[in-house]
Amino acid sequence: MPQKRPEINRSALDGAPLVLASTSPYRRELLARLGIPFECLPPQVDETPVPGETGVALVARLARAKARAVARQRPEAWIIGSDQVALMPDTGKEQILGKPGSASRCREQLLACSARTVSFVTGVAVVHRDALDEFVDTTEVCFRALDAATVERYVAAEQPFDCAGGFKSEGLGITLCAAIKSEDPTALIGLPLIRLCAVLRMRGFELP
């Protein structure tokens, strides 16, 4: 029987609680690795891109918006907001790939990624009262050549409809990759823990 991970005591500047502004089970599982008590609240933010907005600007804006939306509900807390999109070069312009939401859209996205390098950008914002710490992580995924049968099998097996780009690198989706170039393996899953830990330590949370 697996042992329960012990919680790490933390002494943030004012002892305020930690809140993840997300309903994503992937981000929740990642943050739980740190052993810090936290809760999750839905940010309820419109994620529609602004016309002409780049992918990097989009994830940065949405991470801030999600954190600030939850901060209005919990003004005493430290709030973590995050957002992720996949960016694929398309005739000199970037094409933003979000969560496919359906099997047909997922198959379409993955076939478009075949034999191409796609950038997954993840924005993170940590908000507490007037304090704001934010950063954007970029991970490059080189997809191998994918045919329709391969994509059909993968989508049916894993159903990654709620993942940016339509695949899960931490699951069966790794079989679709030729290479992954990243400074933080957790970033592609949805929450870059290495840089987030640095922010939390700077703000007074006790981490190893």
Q: What is the pLDDT of residue 73?
A: 95
Rounded CA gap, 59 and 154, in Å? 27
Element (DSSP H or E) covering residue 68: helix 55-73
The active-site residue out of 46, 83, 90, 162 is 83
Closest by Cα among 149, 147, 145, 167 to 158: 167
Q: What is the pLDDT of residue 10?
A: 42
Closest by Cα among 193, 73, 60 to 134: 60
User: Are the CB atoms for 143 and 118 separated by under 8 Å?
Assistant: yes
CATH number of the domain located at residue range(s) 18-202 in this protein = 3.90.950.10
| Residue 12 per-residue DSSP state | -
147 is catalytic: no
Q: Which residues of 156-179 are buried (b: 16+ CB within 10 A; e: fewer)?
A: eebebeebbbbbbbbeebeebeee
pLDDT digits (tens, 9 = 90+) for 110-155: 999 999 999 999 999 999 999 999 999 999 999 999 999 999 999 9
Q: What is the pLDDT of residue 175?
A: 96
Domain boundaries of the chain, sorted by first residue: 18-202
Q: Per-block average pLDDT, block size 10, for the chain (208 residues)? A: 41 72 95 96 93 94 98 96 89 81 95 94 96 97 97 96 91 96 95 97 92
